[in-house]
Amino acid sequence: MKKRNWLTEKSKKQNQLGQLAATWMLIQTLFLATPGLANQPKPTLSYSQLLEKLDRGEIQKIEVDPTSELARVTLKNQGKNELPLNVVLFNQNPELINKIRSSEVDFEVKPTLDNASALGLLTNLVLIGILLGGLVMIIRKSAQASSQAFNFGKSRARFQMAAKTGVKFDDVAGVEEAKEELQEVVTFLKEPERFTTLGAKIPRGVLLVGPPGTGKTLLAKAISGEAEVPFFSISGSEFVEMFVGVGASRVRDLFKKAKENAPCLVFIDEIDAVGRQRGAGIGGGNDEREQTLNQLLTEMDGFEGNTGIIIIAATNRPDVLDKALLRPGRFDRQVIVDYPDCQGRLGILEVHSQNKILDAEVSLEAIARRTPGFTGADLANLLNEAAIFTARRRKEAITNLEINDAIDRVIAGMEGVPLLDSKAKRLIAYHEVGHAIVGSLMEGHDPVEKVTLIPRGQARGLTWFTPDEEQGLITRSQLLARIAGLLGGRAAEDVVFGHEEVTTGAGNDLERVTSIARQMVTKYGMSELGQLALEEDDNQVFLGNGLMNRSSDYSQEIAAKIDVTVREIAEKSYKIAKNIIRDNRSLIDDLVDLLIEKETIEGEEFRIIVNRNKEEKIEVNLQDKLVKV
């Protein structure tokens, strides 16, 4: 069978070659024969007529072309402007030659040039050129593929002999503590003798840890710009490939180049892509990634020292990094790049507002106070959105209106179409005013920033609270006030419309209430169960905590008590919220009418109305007491 198949394939190949050869011969024939046929003149006189005219003596001159087998005949009575007549001849014409000689007619033989051979040679040369060009392209591609195979294990780090990032420490705001820590690294690179003379060792690595958007990559660029030393930058994901050994080879090549240019700075962004814990995950880990990590550990602090090379790495997930990577001698320092405080946010706004045209009424301090929890990236996005709103509205400067709209856009999403005045709109208004009233009248709750009925994102209405100051620690009373404020919307629906008319609008509120209450019981020890941490943070499966190994740290009896305590906290807070709604029903009705009319009530206006109502209540109570006396 195999022999037959081989013979069949061989015959197929021969047939294909034969077809190609036949095709080429046909093309050659067309190229060569067509010009000859096109140039061949049409006969205007037959051979017999030529003999008759010779006999009658009417011919003056005959020119014979043996190449094209034609005779051009000039008659005696033919005009000067008329062309000779053409006659097709035979291969042998003895009778014609004898008659021409006997009739004493001018006779001449003029063969034309034959270009067929030249065209055939040119066509063959073109074919040979095409074949040679294709062969050269194939050789070049194979050479490129082989060179890529040799370069596959080389590092893909971007290298700058003199760092030209264009970023200095003055361009980085909001992380003053981190800048002070990293200033020493710059001094190490610029003037290492100041430390080596005292016996101090240059740190091997610095790990920047912080949430996304806080400026870790920007800090690394600033270190490079300040130090003015050779700078290598690479992402952790660029080490790992599907081929075995490529990641470790790239690590070796990176440190080889760094040693050749020491002292230098190597920046590895998102190091958690290659530095995760080894041996983690279900069914084992990624061997290729682990080998890459092993090579990185060896290069940082192994048998051979790396003098003058400082590694700067950034991650927002330090909990997944391998412990060997974090020990002294590798990453000697961990610099926390956290959310900026109010002064930090003010500095960030000053940096990003340098190329923006702001109205004189815009206060950066007010914006900084209104944006707790914003990162540097969030603040940059806020000013950019405000600039976009300003350009869209064809204004010359950014005003407070654009700033407010930008804050709303960043926090809650894109603005939707306002609802029409209907039962649904009035119900949403009571829900949002319920949040605002309960939050304003509960001690320890954050002040109201804005109440609006304008839809944003998935929300049909929104109530925002903004803290007056930075909150590091939160008390039990503050947590209970937050729970009551979250339940204010559902309480307003229940009191005003009845239990049968409550809506699904409180779904997200109830999720947050359950989360806060459960943390109070299981993590913070703020319940009758005692000062115990009954639950830890959820550990990821890939950290070696298998799905089958996870178990609770308490008994079923304690679990039942936890559920009961969480429910009691929520029920008590809900009763408090309903009482506040009942006691301020007239105020709530007035606020709902105002909110439906204006669709948005700012926090300052809301607080003025609430305080005025408090003063009126106090006066009424005093008058009642005086009347009783």
Looking at residue 438, its pLDDT comes to 93
Looking at residue 510, its pLDDT comes to 94
Span 544-568, mean pLDDT?
74
Span 557-564, mean pLDDT?
90
Check whether 153 has a pLDDT greater than 80. Answer: no
Q: Which ranges in the chain are annotated with CATH 1.10.8.60?
A: 342-411
d(CA 454, CA 87): 99
Check whether 72 has a pLDDT greater than 70. Answer: yes
Looking at residue 306, its pLDDT comes to 56
Span 245-249, mean pLDDT?
76
Looking at residue 392, its pLDDT comes to 92
- DSSP state letters, 85-121: EEEE--S--HHHHHHHHHTT-EEEE-PPP--HHHHHH
Q: What interhelical angle do 342-352 and 376-392 show, nearest 10?
A: 50
CATH 1.10.10.10 fits 47-109, yes or no: no
- Tell me the pLDDT tens digit for each residue of 15-70: 655 565 556 555 555 544 444 444 444 557 777 777 777 777 777 777 777 767 77
Q: Name the amino acid, one letter, at 289.
A: R
Looking at residue 33, its pLDDT comes to 47
Looking at residue 149, its pLDDT comes to 46
Check whether 95 has a pLDDT greater than 80. Answer: no
Looking at residue 152, its pLDDT comes to 47
Whether the Cβ atoms of residue 459 and residue 444 lie closer than 8 Å to each other:
no
Whether the Cβ atoms of residue 233 and residue 195 lie closer than 8 Å to each other:
no
Q: Length of the chain, please?
A: 629
CATH 3.30.70.20 fits 158-336, yes or no: no
Among 230-234, 277-281, 398-402, 463-467, whose mean pLDDT is lowest? 277-281
Q: Which ranges in the chain are annotated with CATH 1.20.58.760?
A: 423-541+553-624
Between 348 and 122, the higher pLDDT residue: 348
Phi-psi region of 69 (alpha: psi -120 to 50; beta: other; left: phi over 0): left
pLDDT band at 398 (very low <50, low <70, confident <90, very high): very high
Sort 584 into a burial class: Cβ within 10 Å, 0-12 / 13-18 / 19+.
buried
432 labelled catalytic: yes
Rounded to 5 degrees, what are φ and ψ at 144? -65, -40
Output the 3-class SS for 116-133.
Answer: HHHHHHHHHHHHHHHHHH
- Tell me the pLDDT tens digit for each residue of 432-441: 999 999 999 9
d(CA 358, CA 349): 12
Span 285-306, mean pLDDT?
73
* Per-range mean pLDDT, top range of 303-317, 350-364, 612-626: 350-364
Q: How far is CA 219 from CA 175, 216, 362, in A?
A: 9, 5, 29
Check whether 198 has a pLDDT greater than 90. Answer: no
Check whether 535 has a pLDDT greater than 80. Answer: no
Q: Which ranges in the chain are annotated with CATH 3.30.720.210?
A: 47-109
pTM, two decimal places: 0.67
Check whether 2 has a pLDDT greater than 50. Answer: no
Domain 423-541+553-624 in this protein, CATH class:
mainly alpha
Check whether 244 has a pLDDT greater than 70. Answer: no
Q: Which ranges in the chain are annotated with CATH 3.40.50.300?
A: 158-336
Between 8 and 494, the higher pLDDT residue: 494
Check whether 218 has a pLDDT greater than 90. Answer: no
Whether the Cβ atoms of residue 59 and residue 76 lie closer than 8 Å to each other:
yes
The hierarchical CATH code for the domain 342-411 is 1.10.8.60
For the beta carbon of residue 211, count every other beta carbon within 10 angstroms. 13
pLDDT band at 479 (very low <50, low <70, confident <90, very high): very high
Looking at residue 280, its pLDDT comes to 59
Which listed residue (226, 402, 432, 493) is catalytic?
432
Q: What is the mean pLDDT of the chain?
A: 78
